[in-house]
Amino acid sequence: MKLPEDLFNEKEKGLLEKAKIEIDFNKDYSLDEIGELEIKLKDACLDYGFTNCIPNVSCKAWEKICDNFIDVTDKLQAVQDWLIRKEMKSGVERTIILDEKGKIMQIRKGTAENVSFDDSVSKKIFDTAKPRSLDVFHNHPSNSSLSYDDLEFMLFTRAVRSVSAVTKLGKRYTMSIPLKNRTLVGEFRKAWEKSYDNDLNKMLKKLARMLKWKYTAK
Ligand SMILES: [Zn+2]
């Protein structure tokens, strides 16, 4: 899957922000309210030259809106930028799961420390996706690189092929695990201890070399 290089580019405002459209991801919208949102979104798309820019996510209202817009193209970036900015403002983590074609499978809001996938929708996504096919993005309000839990989550979750942490300083840290890689949990834990370094970035580079994973910091 090819991700837009500036997926998390903060310079350009996204469609929803430009058009001043607020969507509450935790609210269960009525059909009338969804209709209104749809009209606003369509108008905004025309005004700003976006055509198919709304992602498919799990939130009920969003899903209904998406039925009319689903087609993930690079325009999706506008929405993603907006989401990242949004979470950075709120200080809580948000997670975006993309499939191998770059389609958004789910957007979730978490706490300041993490996002839990312990619900039926997430479980279904992870259970039904092909092995090592999903890319999981989340933000780190702490500005740090990937954590032990992030990597263990990737290792344990067969459907996941990469985890990325994005910081508000515009950095994106990504660890990927190749399809054929058979790292065992014990090996991972040992390598984590062995590669220990005060500089987390250096440490993750070392860890990736030891386990034949791939680490990038952009
Ligand atoms: Zn994390």
- Centre of ligand 1 from the C-alpha of residue 63, in Å: 26
Q: Do 62 and 22 fall into the same domain?
A: yes
Q: Do 213 and 106 fall into the same domain?
A: yes
Q: Do 53 and 77 fall into the same domain?
A: no
- Centre of ligand 1 from the C-alpha of residue 68, in Å: 33
3-state SS assignment for residue 56: coil
Question: How is residue 129 annotated by DSSP?
Answer: S
CATH number of domain containing 170: 3.40.140
- Centre of ligand 1 from the C-alpha of residue 165, in Å: 6
Could you tell me which of 103, 24, 38 has the C-alpha nearest to residue 67?
38
Domain boundary among the residues 45, 70, 95 is at: 70
Contact 85, 141 (CB under 8 A): no
pLDDT at 159: 96
Domain boundary among the residues 70, 85, 119 is at: 70
Q: Do 62 and 75 fall into the same domain?
A: no
Q: Do 61 and 114 fall into the same domain?
A: no
Q: Could you list the residue range(s) of the whole structural domain that residue 46 is in? A: 1-70
- Centre of ligand 1 from the C-alpha of residue 41, in Å: 31
Arithmetic mean of pLDDT, 152-168: 90
Q: Do 85 and 44 fall into the same domain?
A: no
38: its two tokens: 């749809």
- Centre of ligand 1 from the C-alpha of residue 26, in Å: 22
Domain boundary among the residues 20, 47, 70 is at: 70
Q: Do 86 and 186 fall into the same domain?
A: yes
Arithmetic mean of pLDDT, 76-84: 50
Q: Do 58 and 99 fall into the same domain?
A: no
- Centre of ligand 1 from the C-alpha of residue 93, in Å: 8
Q: Name the more confident of 67 and 14.
A: 14
- Centre of ligand 1 from the C-alpha of residue 139, in Å: 7
Q: Residue 187 belongs to what H/E stretch?
A: helix 185-194
Q: Do 92 and 44 fall into the same domain?
A: no
Helix, strand, coil % over all residues of the chain, rounded to 5: 40, 15, 45
Contact 21, 92 (CB under 8 A): no
Q: Do 56 and 120 fall into the same domain?
A: no
- Centre of ligand 1 from the C-alpha of residue 46, in Å: 36
Total number of domains in the chain:
2
pLDDT at 1: 33
- Centre of ligand 1 from the C-alpha of residue 50, in Å: 31
Q: What is the pTM of this model?
A: 0.66
- Centre of ligand 1 from the C-alpha of residue 109, in Å: 13
Arithmetic mean of pLDDT, 128-144: 87
3-state SS assignment for residue 18: helix
